Amino acid sequence: MNKLELPNRLLMSSLHMNLDEDTRQHQRLARFYALRARMGVGLIVTAGCSPDAAGKSSPSGFALDGDSEIPRHETITRAVHRAKGRIALQILHLGRHASHAGLVSSSARRAPAIPYTPRALDEAGITATVEAYAACAGRAVTAGYDAVELCFSQGFLVHQFLAPAFNTRSDRWGGIFENRARFAVAVARAVRSRVGRDFPIIFRLPCLDLISGGLSPEESVGLVEALTPFGIDLLNVGIGCHESEVATITMSVPRAAFAGVSARLRARFPGLIFAASNRINDPRLAERLLRDGCADMIAMGRPFLADAALADKARRGAFAEINTCIACNQSCMDFIFASGDPVGCSVAPDCARPEEGRFPPLAASKRVAVAGGGIAGLGAALFLARRGARVTLFESENRLGGQLQLAARVPDKQEFVETIRYYSHAALQAGVEIRLGRAFTADDVAAEPWDHVVLATGSRPRRLDDIPGIDLPHVIDYRDVLENDRHIAFPAVIIGGGGVACDVAKYLIRRAEAGVSVTILQRSSRKLAHKVGRTTRWVLMKELEGAGVTMLKSVDVRRVTPSEVDVIDRVEGRERSIAAGAVIVAAGHLALSGPVDDLRRQGIPFTAVGASRAAEVCNTNITSALREAYEFAMAFS
Ligand SMILES: Cc1cc2nc3c(=O)[nH]c(=O)nc-3n(C[C@H](O)[C@H](O)[C@H](O)COP(=O)(O)O)c2cc1C
Ligand code: SF4
């Protein structure tokens, strides 16, 4: 890439880590990147880094906007170079997506979910911002970065000039494409003249932004042509942005769904090198895309959160050992929007923690039984075994995975199978003894000298026994629908309004003929599937709404009859009857506790993790199950 030689074609995409409020942000990032560098990633691109104060996510956001910042960035570059890696600084000005009052954009148009309206940059502001990009790139060279990536896509400042959806100016920076592209060209020219001909510049360009008023395919091509004179050393094919009207990174997006965009541009510009991006989560798939000529490099973002050692495992051909990113977004993208917590990974609970990848050996040998082979039990067994415990896992069924097996039956959720595969394989590799078809019973409590027992016995669906008619033959537990593909007589009514109920609705509409009637009845007044993360929920709801699923909130089910469900609609304040050929109950879960009394009698210490830890009604998901398992195992002594 320009004068930079890379050891392989894997690029770790830029990932904002939500560490803005962490005063040790640079040290933490340095460790995070160095671990991945040591494991052989060809090129790492940092989190988006602002060239000036206005472009930061918050006043303490990641930036390189003054010389005083250089030593902190050297912490990162030195750590990566010590690990024999290479790292590019991504220069990203958030524009109207910044979360502070001093934000700017091409136009004074507020971004959804941002409480502030940006100030439209005037001529002097544009000149200063272009200079800030150049100065930032110059500092990146001084700080020891191997390249810079200019983020012109993903809906941020440069994109806000490029796309008419964001740019409503009528001066020389708005209107026709040549004007809208003027800012991008000015930034490219200024940066190239600052860093010189031989320093690699990666351009992340909006190649398919999927918004109304976005760039047309011809404009994306025009942008590449306009920037080529400044030396595009690698074109990172940007797909989508926060405002995209089509899903681009959720589990519902097929793997490598957008590789064709890279392939088309690569054919159009044979002199350039391209990186394909989005939902490429398996190195074997990456290899195929390279062989098929879709791209010259493969950009992966979240897969390097799920597995820091992905590149090394790919090099060794140890594919079964890879902890695959399942595109759930629960601990990464959703954190950026919701909690403000540092970005991590649901399937790798140590991801980006200071102690990531380290499992301190136990001081003394321990014999541990894990009751339950769902994801919480598997996680606890694996993490304890990595710390040196002798672990035996009991699972009453003849397969591992528990509730996750069921979840994997929902359309677009097949990726969960990868998590079961990884944890099962890793647990065996770590020496866990797995006993399938064997529930952990009172006999087992006494059978061996356990130092500790982990109860990961999971949950069972909540029954609604107090509703008259609930035992009629056409009333079905949701598990029966997903697991046994039960025949459903429509119209179907689903009782429950959480993520599972909505997933069951999706399952039904995907399997049945178009136009079937499905109604969801939720007791509470909250929005449906309220616990499903923001980046995934809108995709699910859009599909249910598009298929005509009726969603009723604030309803109390009074009775079920052979052909109807009678409810009180608390919004309308009246009783109504809803026709039902089948009634499916998906109204939450109750914790199963395991042989607690026997353990107490025998004086064996025990800990509950996952669903079995919940007091009664449980709301566990893969994120909390694995986090609890990890935190328990790390604190165990
Ligand atoms: C938590 C998170 C933070 C991200 N931060 C950035 C960023 O700072 N700059 C950027 O250009 N893209 C950012 N992205 C987009 C990723 O670089 C990548 O394009 C996207 O995750 C799709 O690729 P993947 O399926 O390989 O993860 C971010 C994505 C996630 C999930
Ligand atoms: S939280 Fe989910 S989407 Fe994010 S990196 Fe982990 S597995 Fe992938």
624 CA distance to ligand 2 centroid (A)? 13
Mutate to test the pocket of ligand 2, among 310, 325, 375 (most ligand atoms within 8 A of CB): 325
Which ligand ends up closest to the CA of 93?
1
Residue 534 confidence (pLDDT) above 90: no
Closest atom, ligand 2, to C-alpha of 331: 1
Rounded average pLDDT over 270-294: 98
14 ligand 1 Cβ < 6 A: yes
Q: What's the pLDDT at 172?
A: 98
184 ligand 1 Cβ < 6 A: no
Which ligand ends up closest to the CA of 49?
1
Rounded average pLDDT over 198-204: 98
Where residue 459 falls among pLDDT bands split at 50, 70, 90? confident
Contact 408, 416 (CB under 8 A): yes
Ligand 2 atom 8: residue of nearest CA: 325
Residue 615 confidence (pLDDT) above 60: no
pLDDT of 395-440, one tens digit each?
999 999 999 999 999 999 999 999 999 999 999 999 999 999 999 9
Question: Higher model confidence: residue 337 or residue 485?
Answer: 485
Looking at the structure, do residues 617 and 487 belong to the same domain, yes or no? no
Q: Which two tokens stand for residue 462?
A: 């909540």
Question: What kind and span of H or E run contains 80?
Answer: helix 70-82
Ligand 1 atom 6: residue of nearest CA: 15
Domain enclosing residue 393, as ranges:
367-461+590-635
406 CA distance to ligand 2 centroid (A)? 19
Mean of pLDDT over the chain? 95
pLDDT of 155-184, one tens digit each?
999 999 999 999 999 999 999 999 999 999
The contacts of residue 591 (CB under 8 Å, 6+ apart) are 459, 611, 612, 613, 614, 615, 616, 617, 618
Looking at the structure, do residues 288 and 422 belong to the same domain, yes or no? no
223 CA distance to ligand 2 centroid (A)? 32
Looking at the structure, do residues 457 and 517 belong to the same domain, yes or no? no
Q: Which two tokens stand for residue 18?
A: 């939500």
Query: Does some domain include residue 454?
Result: yes
Q: What's the pLDDT at 604?
A: 97
Rounded average pLDDT over 448-469: 93
pLDDT of 28-63, one tens digit each?
999 999 999 999 999 999 999 999 999 999 889 999
Where residue 585 falls among pLDDT bands split at 50, 70, 90? very high
- Chain centroid, CA 110 distance in Å: 25
Query: Does some domain include residue 339?
Result: no
Closest atom, ligand 1, to C-alpha of 151: 11
Looking at the structure, do residues 575 and 607 belong to the same domain, yes or no? no
Query: Does some domain include residue 358?
Result: no
Which ligand ends up closest to the CA of 326?
2
266 CA distance to ligand 1 centroid (A)? 22
- Rounded-to-integer distance, Cα 393 and Cα 405, Å: 17
Closest atom, ligand 1, to C-alpha of 302: 27
Which ligand ends up closest to the CA of 45?
1
3-state secondary structure of 624: helix
Q: What's the pLDDT at 614?
A: 58
pLDDT of 306-364, one tens digit each?
999 999 999 999 999 999 999 999 999 988 877 678 999 999 999 999 999 999 999 99
Looking at the structure, do residues 19 and 99 belong to the same domain, yes or no? yes
Domain harbouring 449, CATH code: 3.40.50.720
451 CA distance to ligand 1 centroid (A)? 43
**Lowest-confidence segment of 4-13, 330-339, 593-602, 615-624 by average pLDDT:** 615-624
| Number of separate domains in the chain | 3
Nearest to 44 by CA among 55, 29, 56: 29
Domain harbouring 169, CATH code: 3.20.20.70
330 ligand 1 Cβ < 6 A: no
Which ligand ends up closest to the CA of 298?
1
CA distances 448 to 137, 391, 394, 453, 593, Å, are 63, 12, 13, 11, 20
Q: Which two tokens stand for residue 157?
A: 């400042």
Where residue 301 falls among pLDDT bands split at 50, 70, 90? very high
Cα dihedral 601, 607, 609, 614 sign: positive
Residue 2 confidence (pLDDT) above 80: yes
3-state secondary structure of 427: helix
Query: Does some domain include residue 353?
Result: no
Closest atom, ligand 1, to C-alpha of 239: 19
Looking at the structure, do residues 120 and 208 belong to the same domain, yes or no? yes
Segments in 530-606 forming alpha helices (H): 534-546, 596-602
Nearest to 23 by CA among 94, 68, 72: 72
Residue 611 confidence (pLDDT) above 80: no
Rounded average pLDDT over 605-609: 95
Residue 619 confidence (pLDDT) above 70: no
Mutate to test the pocket of ligand 2, among 326, 623, 626 (most ligand atoms within 8 A of CB): 326
Where residue 466 falls among pLDDT bands split at 50, 70, 90? very high
Looking at the structure, do residues 269 and 293 belong to the same domain, yes or no? yes
pLDDT of 57-71, one tens digit each?
988 999 999 999 999
Q: What's the pLDDT at 94?
A: 98
Query: Does some domain include residue 376?
Result: yes
- Rounded-to-integer distance, Cα 41 and Cα 85, Å: 7
Query: Does some domain include residue 362?
Result: no
Which ligand ends up closest to the CA of 333?
1
Rounded average pLDDT over 190-208: 98
Mutate to test the pocket of ligand 1, among 237, 251, 302 (most ligand atoms within 8 A of CB): 302
Looking at the structure, do residues 148 and 14 belong to the same domain, yes or no? yes
Q: What's the pLDDT at 463?
A: 87
Query: Does some domain include residue 136?
Result: yes
Residue 515 confidence (pLDDT) above 90: no
| Pocket lining for ligand 2, CB < 6 angstroms | 302, 305-306, 325-332, 345-347
Ligand 1 atom 22: residue of nearest CA: 278
Looking at the structure, do residues 599 and 580 belong to the same domain, yes or no? no
Q: What's the pLDDT at 89?
A: 98
Looking at the structure, do residues 123 and 241 belong to the same domain, yes or no? yes
Query: Does some domain include residue 624?
Result: yes
Looking at the structure, do residues 290 and 307 belong to the same domain, yes or no? yes
Closest atom, ligand 2, to C-alpha of 344: 1
Domain harbouring 581, CATH code: 3.50.50.60
302 CA distance to ligand 2 centroid (A)? 6
Ligand 2 atom 1: residue of nearest CA: 345
Q: What's the pLDDT at 618?
A: 55
161 CA distance to ligand 2 centroid (A)? 31
Closest atom, ligand 2, to C-alpha of 329: 3
Looking at the structure, do residues 581 and 594 belong to the same domain, yes or no? no
Ligand 2 atom 5: residue of nearest CA: 302
